[in-house]
Structures are given as C-alpha cells and as structure tokens.
Amino acid sequence: GPIRSGAQRWLNIGGLNFQPAEFAKLTALLILTRYFVTHRDEIKSPKVFLTALGIILPYIGLIFLQPDLGSALVMVPLFLSLSFICGVKRKNLFILFFLGILFSPLFWYLLKDYQKQRLLVFLNPHIDPLGAGYTIIQAKIAIGSGRLWGKGWGSHLFSFLPESHTDFIFASLAEQGGFFGAGLVILIYYLLLKEIIWKGILSHNLAEKAIAGGIATLLFSHIFINIGMCLGILPVVGIPLPFISYGGSHLVVNMWALGIVSSLGRER
C-alpha cells in the first residue's frame, strides 16, 4: 500500500482506498467470539486462554508494524472484554495485565521516533510547541474558546487546528458547539452504548453477549481515546471519532457493527 506521513496503513484496490486495520477489528471480534463459544466447556483452562491470545497477537503485531499504534491498542480492551464476558479465569487476566505492566518499559524501544515524541509532548506539550505539541495546544485552545454555547457552526480553527476533520474533530465540534454541543455528542454516544450493552444483557446466548460487549468496547475505546487526545489527557495515537470523523473504512465497519447488533436476538 501507499506510504503517507511515514505510515503504510492503506490499500488501493480498483481506485478505492481502505484501511485493513479497521476491518481487522471487527474480524478479530467475531473470530475470538466463535473460538470462545466453541470451547465454552473448557473456557477456564489455560490452553484456551493462551490459544485466544495467540489469535489476537498477530492482529496487534501486524497493525503495530504499519505503524498504527492507536488501532493496535484498541485490540487490547477488546480481547480483555471478550475474555471476561465468555468466562475466562480472572486470574489469567490479572497475570496478563501484570506482565503487560512489567514489560511496558521495553515497549518504548519498539516505537518510531515520532511516536516517542508524541508521548513526550503528552507529558509536556510546551517542550515542542511549534512541532509535535502544536496540535495538542491548538486543540485545547479550540475547546476552551467554545465556552458554554460555542462560536456557532461554521466558525472554527480549520486553518490553525491540524486534522480537524479526522483525529481532532471533537475539538472542532467543541469550539463550534461549546460545552453544550460537546456534551450533547457525549450524551448520544452514551445512549448508543447503553442500547448495545442492554442488547447483550437481555440475551441468553453467550455469542450474542460477547458480540454486543465487544462492539460496545470497540466504540467506547474509540470515543474515550479520541476525546482524551483532544483534551490532552491521553497521548495522540490517531484514533477517529465514531460516525463523526472523516474516514470511509471506519464508517463502513461501524455501520456493519450496528447492523450486527440490530440482528441480535432476532430468533426470539
């Protein structure tokens, strides 16, 4: 695929560009769900847990190598939520979490230079205010300038805020709609996630519970990380805001995911 901004995340087939990582998220969810449901009778065994880990690690590794740190990180809560819902021993999850924390310092040496710089400016954006820290600073200015009711739709910092239509679109929304507009967006996300989770809770089918929980986890991870980036409470990792950020692959996959959710329980 073509290289853009130092990353090779896209494929061009028939004149259409798409991101395989977006489709991999939903694919990994369905494959893991099928594996866990098929082995539900031995779900507590370490073998099942390790095999499931072996299923998700190639996804994480290949996406990380593109590099696409954000999409790779989203796979982690997806795996943990599916494991928890399907009944994997909590002890195994705690061990995995502890090992992740233990070896996290080694992760630093796997990062590209620009990714290291993003983590450093997350701690202090003003160490490079005109470089890597510029976007974070401008996003905070955009959000703060919106105040309570916003500046009005159409009045935004498009010329000053990079990626205002993709990664930092929430900052643009907060500037135009203010606290009220940003809060309304978050409220709509809350209602959507509540409906998806409720679908899973009402189901007596383990596969349906896992699918609903997994899709809710994917959407929540994107929402939380994207808004956290704009507020400066999370590092910039390039995660789109579901149904709002520009990006065809992400939108198509999210619509597929909602289509799957709407079909859950249809046999009842």
Question: Which residue type occupies 214?
Answer: G
Cα→Cα distances 104→109, 110, 132, 236, 239, Å = 10, 10, 23, 18, 21
Residue 241 corresponds to which tokens in the numbers above?
């805001």
pLDDT at 268: 62
- The low-confidence residues of the chain, meaning pLDDT below 70, are 5, 155-159, 267-268
How confident is the model over 152-199, as pLDDT tens digits? 777 654 557 777 777 888 998 998 899 999 999 999 999 999 999 999
pLDDT at 253: 94
Residue written as tokens 């994480």?
Answer: 60
pLDDT at 52: 95
Contact (Cβ atoms closer than 8 angstroms) between residue 240 and residue 167: yes
Q: What pTM, to 2 d.p., does this model score? A: 0.90
pLDDT at 16: 82
